[in-house]
């Protein structure tokens, strides 16, 4: 019997645990032909999420396992830990708040059996605000224009990954992660299906505007070096313009003598150049920061405990880097 792991990264999701329990029981009833593993990753929750996970594992150790991270690392790293500890032949990533409906799982499994390695779920008719939808649309378009690897729009982490994809992702040990870009990067046979996102029923969303901005910038800088090129092109254009202007000034000065006015021109040029320099410096800094964080070669995370079916887990607990 094929084993499927459902990965549920959770940060302060105490209130969703009951819902998870119901949903996972339903998944088992709906898909009896598979062996199920429900892998919960506690991402440094400050509420009683961990205690609830421990209880789930105690009540049903055959199906529930959990990894307790040493602090809050963010969802990307929590998923990375999930990839490391998943034991299934395939992995389905879902949000712990159960915004992802379990009724598309049979469809995912069907396509997987047909030979697809990455069955990703695309959001349809989302009930998010117009602004949020539009900005995400623009963002995808921008990202896509910067790279020639196809990017799936309106697609998040809700997807089924074959073991081949998991093994590929496990070898990508960068700590500044943009997992969405990685799914595209690794390739393999992909298939999109549609789903309707549910309202969050318990707890609160963990994303603030600032964290979305951070995610967006990280998404670009971890995915492509195109902005560095932008800095060079901008510099080139400005230099060219400045050079033409220089010739113009020399000619005009020689023909008509030197007028004393010119304060506005100087001001504008100064400010413009200053702006371009800061922008370029900022872009370089973004990448330098990234390099700084990666060259330290730290493991992506540490864990307090793991309880589950992965047998070589104890040796793995401290040094996740050994994988690379």
CA distance 11 to 8: 10
Nearer to ligand UDP among residue 111 and residue 306 (C-beta): 306
| Contact between residue 301 and residue 73 where contact means Cβ atoms under 8 Å apart | yes
Residue of 290, 324, 291, 293 lying closest to 83 (CA atoms):
324
CB atoms within 10 A of CB 198: 13
**Is residue 43 a contact residue for Mg ion (CB under 5 A)?**
no
Supply the minimum distance, in Å, between the C-beta of residue 198 and ligand UDP.
10
Among 10, 39, 54, 86, binds ligand UDP (CB under 6 A): 10
Distance, CA of 41 to CA of 9 (rounded, Å): 5
Choose one: 203-211, 230-238, 263-271, 295-303; the region binding ligand UDP (CB under 6 A). 203-211
- Residue from 188, 207, 245, 248 in contact with ligand UDP (CB under 6 A): 207
> Each residue of 78-116: b (16+ CB within 10 Å) or e?
bbbbbbbbbbbbbbbbbbbbbbbebebbebbbebbeeeb
Residue of 14, 37, 68, 97 interacting with ligand UDP (CB under 6 A):
97
CA 141, chain centre distance (Å): 17
Residue selected from 37, 84, 97, 162 as contacting Mg ion according to rule CB under 5 A: 97
- Restricted to residues 174-233, the positions that interact with Mg ion (CB under 5 A) are 200
Nearer to Mg ion, 77 or 94 (CB): 94
Q: In this structure, what token pair is assigned to residue 132?
A: 């949020």
Establish if 95 lies at the interface with ligand UDP (CB under 6 A).
yes
**Contact assessment for residue 306 and residue 82, using Cβ atoms and an 8 Å cutoff:** no
Q: Which is nearer to ligand UDP, 96 or 161 (CB)?
A: 96
Q: Is the dihedral of CA 90, 159, 30, 22 positive or negative?
A: positive
Indicate whether 13 belongs to the interface with Mg ion (CB under 5 A). Answer: no
Given the rule CB under 5 A, which of 98-106, 209-217, 225-233, 305-313 is the region that contacts Mg ion?
Answer: 98-106
Q: Is 37 in the site for ligand UDP (CB under 6 A)?
A: no
List residues near Mg ion by CB under 5 A. 95, 97, 99, 200
List residues near ligand UDP by CB under 6 A. 9-11, 13, 43, 72, 74-75, 78, 95-97, 99, 205-207
């Amino acid at each position: 019997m094929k084993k499927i792991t459902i990965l549920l990264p959770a940060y302060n999701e105490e209130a969703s645990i009951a819902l998870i329990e119901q949903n996972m029981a339903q998944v088992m009833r709906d898909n009896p032909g598979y062996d199920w593993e429900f892998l919960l990753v506690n991402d440094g929750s400050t509420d009683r999420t961990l205690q609830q996970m421990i209880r789930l594992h105690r009540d049903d150790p055959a199906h529930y396992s959990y990894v307790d991270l040493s602090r809050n690392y963010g969802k990307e790293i929590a998923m990375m830990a999930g990839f490391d500890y998943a034991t299934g032949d395939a992995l389905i990533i879902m949000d712990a708040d159960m915004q992802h409906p379990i009724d598309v799982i049979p469809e995912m499994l069907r396509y997987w059996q047909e030979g697809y390695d990455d069955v990703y779920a695309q959001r349809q008719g989302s009930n998010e605000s117009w602004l949020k939808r539009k900005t995400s649309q623009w963002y995808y378009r921008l990202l896509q224009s910067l790279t020639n690897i196809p990017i799936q729009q309106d697609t998040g982490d809700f997807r089924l990954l074959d073991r081949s994809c998991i093994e590929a992702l496990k070898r990508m040990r960068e700590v500044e992660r943009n997992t969405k870009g990685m799914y595209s990067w690794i390739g393999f046979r992909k298939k999109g299906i549609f789903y309707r996102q549910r309202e969050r029923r318990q707890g609160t969303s963990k994303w603030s505007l600032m964290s979305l901005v951070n995610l967006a910038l990280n998404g670009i800088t971890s995915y492509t070096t195109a902005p560095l090129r932008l800095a060079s092109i901008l510099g080139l254009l400005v230099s060219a313009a400045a050079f033409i202007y220089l010739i113009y000034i020399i000619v005009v000065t020689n023909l008509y003598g030197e007028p004393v006015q010119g304060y506005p021109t100087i001001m504008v040029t100064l400010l413009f150049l200053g702006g371009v320099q800061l922008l370029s410096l900022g872009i370089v800094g973004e990448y330098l920061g990234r390099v700084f964080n990666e060259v330290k070669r730290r493991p992506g995370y540490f864990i307090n405990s793991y309880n589950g079916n992965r047998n070589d887990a104890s040796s793995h607990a401290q040094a996740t880097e050994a994988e690379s």
